[in-house]
Amino acid sequence: MSITFLQIFLLINVFLIGAVFATALRHAYAHFRPHSHDSEKIHQTAAQVVHLSPKVRDSLLQSAQDKFQTILNHSAEQLERDLKATVEQLNSRLEKLGTEIVGDEMRRYRMDLDQLRKQTEANITGAQTEITEHQTDLKAKIDKKQAELEAKLVEEIANEKKILIQQIDTKLADAVASFLTETLGHNIDLGAQSTYLTSMLEEHKTELIKGINDET
Amino acid sequence: MKLKLPGSIASSQDLTALLIEIREYSHWFAHESIKKRVDAKHSSATPTMSTGAMELLRDWKIKHQISQQSLDELVKTLEDYCKTAPSLTITLAMSPTSSLKTALVTWCRENIAPDVLVAFRFNATILGGLVVHFGSHVFDWSFRRQILANREFFPEVLRRV
């Protein structure tokens, strides 16, 4: 908005300077190149009205010319002063306006910058909070998953261990049974101790009787 | 005189208990004989006896007339038996049942000596089989010994399984 006003103001100033410059140029042109018909008209009127001697007429002309020159100089000086004052005022106003605009812009820029900084900080804080929450959530999920996996692993290991123990037990039982069967003889029935023991005594009968006879 | 003990009388402890019962019966018989002689009306009940003692008395009654003299003779025979009978000890892995005891005692009396006394012990560490002690002789036919004797055979069996 301020830029628009500044532009409008500058355009008005340019327009005024242009107008002043055009006026000064017109006056200067009129001074150095007066219109021929005006001087002729004056001369004709003067020639028609008064018949003056060339000397008087020359002195009058000289006097008028001096006065006109003086007035013109005075006007030019005044115009120059006015122009200088205008230029100074314009410069000071422009400087002031520029300073104000720059100040406003700087202030606005700082405000925008502060706002941006605050917004960025808020965003960063939010992002950090979100990251922290996400990390916490992720950690909780990871911990939960890890606990689940560990529990599952422990359960699987326990099951595997149980299966292996059962297999080992079965194998060992088979091995021991086979070993006992092959070691103790194929006709052993552990449930029938009486028959087995009697057969054992029968098997070692001679040895036993010999031992008893030796003892007695 | 040879005495054939019932199979349930296996060890010297059983024989001692039997002897006590027979002595008690002998005393009772003597008292009852005296009461009969003096025509006493009151008579006491027969003392409670074990199956083995009743069986022995039944066998003794078949060969001898029951009298105080024959009962004294039976007591003396039992005392001699207790002193002279050979005794062996059989160790088993578990406490033997009466039928198992009878079977083993019968076998011993049929194959080793008819008057042999057999004491039973039990030791779970032998796992099975039996260990026979007779004097200074030890006949170890236990599972433990057989397993230990064949332990080098175990890995081969394990590999086969």
**A190 at the B interface (CB within 8 A)?**
yes
**A200 at the B interface (CB within 8 A)?**
yes
Chain B residues close to A209, C-beta within 8 Å = 111-112
Instruction: Tell me if B29 sits within 8 A of B35, measured CB to CB.
Output: no
Q: What is the pLDDT of residue A154?
A: 93
Parallel, antiparallel, or unpaired for β B129-134 and B137-142?
Answer: antiparallel
pLDDT digits (tens, 9 = 90+) for A145-187: 999 999 999 999 999 999 998 888 888 777 777 777 666 655 4
pLDDT tens for chain B, 161 residues: list them: 567 888 888 888 888 999 999 999 999 988 988 888 888 777 788 888 888 888 888 888 887 778 888 888 888 988 888 888 888 999 988 888 888 888 888 888 888 888 889 999 988 888 788 899 988 889 998 888 888 887 777 777 777 76
**B85 at the A interface (CB within 8 A)?**
no
Return left, alpha or beta for A28; rule: phi > 0 is left, psi -120 to 50 is alpha, else beta. alpha
Mean per-residue pLDDT for A43-66? 76
Nearest alpha-carbon partner for B15 in B131, B92, B99, B118: B118
Helices and strands (H and E) in chain A: how many: 5, 0
Q: Which of A183, A194, A200 sits opposite B103 (nearest CB)?
A: A194
| pLDDT exceeds cutoff 60 at A37 | no
Q: Which of B128, B135, B154 sits opposite A215 (nearest CB)?
A: B135
| pLDDT exceeds cutoff 80 at A134 | yes
Tell me whether residues A197 and B129 touch, CB distance under 8 A. yes
Q: Which of B99, B104, B134 sits opposite A212 (nearest CB)?
A: B134
Mean per-residue pLDDT for A118-132? 88
What's the ipTM? 0.73
Q: What is the pLDDT of residue A189?
A: 47
Nearest alpha-carbon partner for B104 in B84, B88, B81: B88
Q: What is the pLDDT of residue B42?
A: 78
Q: What is the pLDDT of residue A152?
A: 92
pTM above 0.95, yes or no: no
Diameter over CA atoms, chain A: 207
Chain B residues close to A211, C-beta within 8 Å = 134, 137, 139
Nearest alpha-carbon partner for A190 in A208, A176, A202: A176
d(CA A197, CA A213): 22
In percent, how much of chain A has pLDDT > 90? 23
Tell me whether residues B92 and A215 touch, CB distance under 8 A. no
DSSP character string of A64-98: HHHHHHHHHHHHHHHHHHHHHHHHHHHHHHHHHHH
Instruction: Tell me if A180 sits within 8 A of B143, measured CB to CB.
Output: yes
Q: Compute the nearest-CA separation of B48 from chain A (Å).
A: 31
Tell me whether residues A211 and B134 touch, CB distance under 8 A. yes
Which residues are CB-contacts of B47 (< 8 A; sequence separation ≥ 6)? B21, B24, B25, B28
Helices and strands (H and E) in chain B: how many: 6, 4
Q: Which of A190, A209, A214 sits opposite B112 (nearest CB)?
A: A209
Nearest alpha-carbon partner for B3 in B67, B66, B82: B82
**B122 at the A interface (CB within 8 A)?**
no
Confidence at A50, pLDDT banded by 50, 70, 90: low
Nearest alpha-carbon partner for A210 in B50, B52, B132, B68: B132
Q: What is the pLDDT of residue B66?
A: 80
Confidence at A190, pLDDT banded by 50, 70, 90: very low
